[in-house]
Every structure is written in C-alpha cells, then in structure tokens.
Structure 1
Amino acid sequence: MNAQRLRDLHNGSALLVLPNAWDAASAAVVQHAGASAVATTSAGVAWSCGWPDGDRLPAEEMLAALRRIVRVIDVPLTADIEEGCDDEPSAVASFVSRLVDAGVAGINIEDGNKDPALLAAKLRAIRDALGERDLFINARTDVFLRGVASGDAGVEEVLRRGALYRDAGADGLFVPGIKIVDEVRRVAGGIAPMPLNVMLVPGLPSRQELFDAGARRLSAGIALSLEAYVAAGRKAAELLEREGPDVGYGTLNEWLAR
C-alpha cells in the first residue's frame, strides 16, 4: 500500500518535494515538518552509521538503519541504496526483497560509473524476486552528475539509459545534476509517463519552472544532513572556544574512511 501511495504522489498538481533524512530522528522531523513521504540520503545514512559515502556502508547496517526509520514514521519511505550494496544482480535482488519486507516503499538505485547494462540486470532481478510485492523503483543515472556527457549528448545518453531502465522494471528516472530547463523538458518528455526526479543543486530553476518542464520530484540530496553536521561542528567549536572545523562532504568522508 505504501508503494502505491508513493507512486500516486508523483501524479499531483505540484512537484513532489522530498527533504532527505539520514536516521530515525531526522526522518521523524521531516515527517512532522509536513513531508508526504520521507527519502533517505545515502551519504547521510552512511555518515550516521560511521562509514564514508560511496557504496561503503554494509548492507546489514543499511537495513538496520532503514528499519529504525520505518518504525517511527507513518508516511512512505523511499531509500537511496546507492548501487544496491553488491555488483551481483541476484544479491541485490535478495537485499531489496528484505527492504520491502521491512516496510520500505521505494528505492533509488544508481548506475554510478558502471555499465548501464548492469543496472538493467539488477532491475530485472529485483522485479523477479519481488513477484507480486510492490515497490516504487527510481533508477538513478549519473550521466550529468559525473560529467559522463552534457548538453545534447547528455540528454541523448540519459534518454537511452532511461528507456533501458524502464524496460527492465524502473518506475521513475532520477537524473541528479540536470538543471537547464530545456534539458529537463526534453528528458521529461522523452521518458513520459515515467516521472523525472531532479536533485537540489546550485542554479536549479524554480519549482514551478521544473514542474512546467515536466519534472515531478525534487530531492534535497545531502543538503539537510550536511547542514546538520556543519551546525554541530560550529556549535562544538563555540563551546570549546576554538575555531570551527571545516566540515564538508570531502572531510566527512575522509574522517570516516578507516
């Protein structure tokens, strides 16, 4: 039921905005701030569990973190699971099946810098493993985020991957890094009726412009979690009467890479 609720939220009269949480407490805060669904940030969840971002968080620790979040919220949870915690499609499918049994309504799963055919294989394996159980699958492609291609070439590559992932079982397409209105419009039109998810980045058009261009979902990414850790560092430094640490994506990953 939660998966269908999440699916329906993509069909509203305004952009579905998801402030990303990173643990049970932040998820509860996000829900009580008025969010109609809660999304996780993979980086934030990894940091909160003591791991750097980048497919380093063990599957069992991710599952435990997501179970804690499901326990404290009443709205659908969609989890960013990076590349699925494994390169083997059958292992990814088994893990995702456990997530659904734990109450997760949706996932983001990405291609990263791997062959798009690998993500397609994972998607097919997930659908086969789930059977009649429902899950909203947001396939993420990092064409723009990783600079694989840009401009017309980027749009064409995103559309190619989007068709591949849709045919393999994806419900939506997440294209972090895309921010030019015309490119958003071309991608959204090319993958319709599959909803397009964009990510909060500097220079992103207004919500109304994004919606009018065909985007249906906006994710905050690491923004909230990173801001929380920056604020913690600043407050700790004030109490210690010292200069605050340089807290950022890179430094958090460095400090946790042990």
Structure 2
Amino acid sequence: MTQRTFADLHHADEPLLLPNAWDHASATALAAQGFRAIGTTSLAVAAAVGLPDGAAATREQTLLLALTLGSEPFRLSVDAEGGFSDDPDAVAEFARELHAVGAVGINLEDGLGAVDRHAAKIAAVRAAVPGLFVNARTDTHWLGDGEGTIRRLDAYRQAGAHGVFVPGLTDAREIAALVGHLGDVPLNVLYSPTGPSVPRLADLGVRRISLGSLLYRRALGAAVETATDIRAGRAPGGPAPTYEGIQALSRAAGGAGDATASSG
C-alpha cells in the first residue's frame, strides 16, 4: 500500500488529529504514540526564548526547530505565524527553507490583517514550493467576532491554500455550515476542552483538529505544580517519563549523561 502523503491525511476516513510539539523530545514522544503527523506551536517557540508570540520575532528559532525535527520519520507541519514578513516573496523564501529541511506543511495566520496581503503570501508560497501543504488561518473568531470569516477563507483558497484554519470556532452549527460551504477544502479547527469532542468534530465534517499550545501549557502547568507540591511536602502526582526513557528519544542516545544517570 502506498504511504499516504500529508495532504492525503486531510481526506482520510477520520480527521487528522495534530498534536503540537515544541522541541525534539516532545515531538518524538508524540510520534511514538502513533500520531500520523506533528505540528509545532509558535507560543512555545517564542516563550522558550522569552519573546512574544505573533510578533514576527522568532523566524530564526522556528527554522531551527524545523531543522531539528525535519529529518525525523514523522510528517512535520510548521506554525510560521504570518510568515515573519509582510513581503510575500520573503514569506515564500522562508517556506522554501522549511521545505528544504523536511517540513511538509506550513501554517500561515492572517492576524486580521489585510485579506489581499495574506492571499498574496499564500499564492507566493504555492508558486515557490508546490509540494508544501499550505494551511491558511484566519483569526476572525480568535481575535474578533467571526465577521468576515467566509470572505477571508474564500480569498485564501482562491489563492491556493490547501486547507483553512479557524481557531476559536466551537459552535457546532457554524462548523457544519462552514464545512458545507468549503466543499472539498478541509477545515481545520482548534480543539477546545469546552468545545465539541473529537468524535463530534468528525461527525460535523472537520478534517483537521489541532491542539495548538495546549500540550505546552499543560506541561508547564504540571512542572510548576510538581515543584510547588514538593516545596509543600507533598509527593507529586501524575506520570513522569524516566531518565532512560527521555534519553531513548534522542538521536544521540547512549551518551554518558550526568554522573547519576537518574536526576537529569
């Protein structure tokens, strides 16, 4: 059987559930659980170096993460904010760099900026890197009241977007209506613990479900909770991978590590 491409995964029998990683260990640990593709999360990339998310400040860090992950056997889609430039040619060049290191998808957000400008970025990426899956995100629900969603998505798919992403969209009737409007263009939504479940989203016709920064935020929350529990004299709860388990995720597994090989 021919291996499915990343694009094929958006048209399979079940939606593509895309967990978003922030480093090599998180990505490979998720892939080991059988996830068919891994995304990155721009919030974590920015937070790790003390920079703001969505401010076009992490082009170098995003490319470095793609370089780290792109040679792994899983399919990699990169959250590239708005492409780190208002110049469509510069965005296309960044997309070329991502594809060259192994990325198969790119997520480009409009941040409620000019529709024509975002459409031009999409068209430039499609022309420069035909093999890269372009997921076009609109922030009408995340940063606004949902007004203009269809107009923006129509412009982006006409520019060549393979799929469209509407984070913040959780109303089942709105999701179903948008799926019907888009036809064969796959709709991506952001999973929300207070929104429809994954099976319900599948029933509504959603083709891609992203976890965004949720895993990173929960990991950070668990780390802080563990530290404060220990300080308070409580034994920390919840699962934790072993030192050896984390070492096994590394391409350089088998190194000396620290002297105790236990405390990390």
Q: TM-score range by the shorter chain?
A: 0.7 to 0.9
TM-score (norm 1): 0.84
Unaligned stretches of 5+ in structure 1? Answer: 243-258
Alpha-carbon offset, residue 8 of structure 1: 0.6
Aligned pairs for 1:171-182 (under 5 A) are 171-182=162-173
Alpha-carbon offset, residue 56 of structure 1: 4.2
Task: Go from structure 1 to structure 2 and tell me whether the alpha carbon gap of 1:183 and 1:50 turns closer, same or farther (over 3 Å shift).
Answer: same
- Aligned counterparts of 1:240 and 1:58: Cα–Cα separation in 2: 34
Alpha-carbon offset, residue 17 of structure 1: 0.7
Alpha-carbon offset, residue 113 of structure 1: 2.5
Unaligned stretches of 5+ in structure 2? Answer: 234-264
More helix by share: 1
Aligned to 1:93: 92
- Aligned counterparts of 2:109 and 2:125: Cα–Cα separation in 1: 13
Alpha-carbon offset, residue 4 of structure 1: 6.5
- Aligned counterparts of 2:210 and 2:181: Cα–Cα separation in 1: 21
Question: Which region of structure 1 is more displaced relative to structure 2, 119-128 or 231-240?
Answer: 231-240
Once superposed, what is the RMSD of the aligned Cα atoms? 1.9
Aligned to 2:218: 227
How many equivalent pairs are there? Answer: 232
Task: Go from structure 1 to structure 2 and tell me whether the alpha carbon gap of 1:4 and 1:95 turns closer, same or farther (over 3 Å shift).
Answer: farther
Aligned to 2:117: 118
Instruction: Say whether 1:144 aligns with 2:150.
Output: no
- Aligned counterparts of 1:51 and 1:240: Cα–Cα separation in 2: 29
Aligned to 1:107: 106
Aligned to 1:252: none
- Aligned counterparts of 1:116 and 1:202: Cα–Cα separation in 2: 30
Alpha-carbon offset, residue 66 of structure 1: 1.2
TM-score (norm 2): 0.82
Q: Identity rate of aligned residues, in percent? A: 39
- Aligned counterparts of 2:51 and 2:224: Cα–Cα separation in 1: 18
Deviations 1:189-225 (A, max 9, x none): 1111100000012431122221222111111111100
- Aligned counterparts of 2:50 and 2:105: Cα–Cα separation in 1: 24
Aligned to 1:245: none
The amino acid that maps onto 1:119 is H
- Larger radius of gyration, structure 1 or 2? 2
Aligned to 2:82: 83
Higher RCO (Cα < 8 Å, 6 or more apart): 1
The amino acid that maps onto 1:14 is E
* Contact persistence 1:106–1:135 (CA under 8 A): yes
- Aligned counterparts of 1:84 and 1:24: Cα–Cα separation in 2: 22
Aligned to 2:191: 200
Instruction: Say whether 1:189 aligns with 2:180.
Output: yes
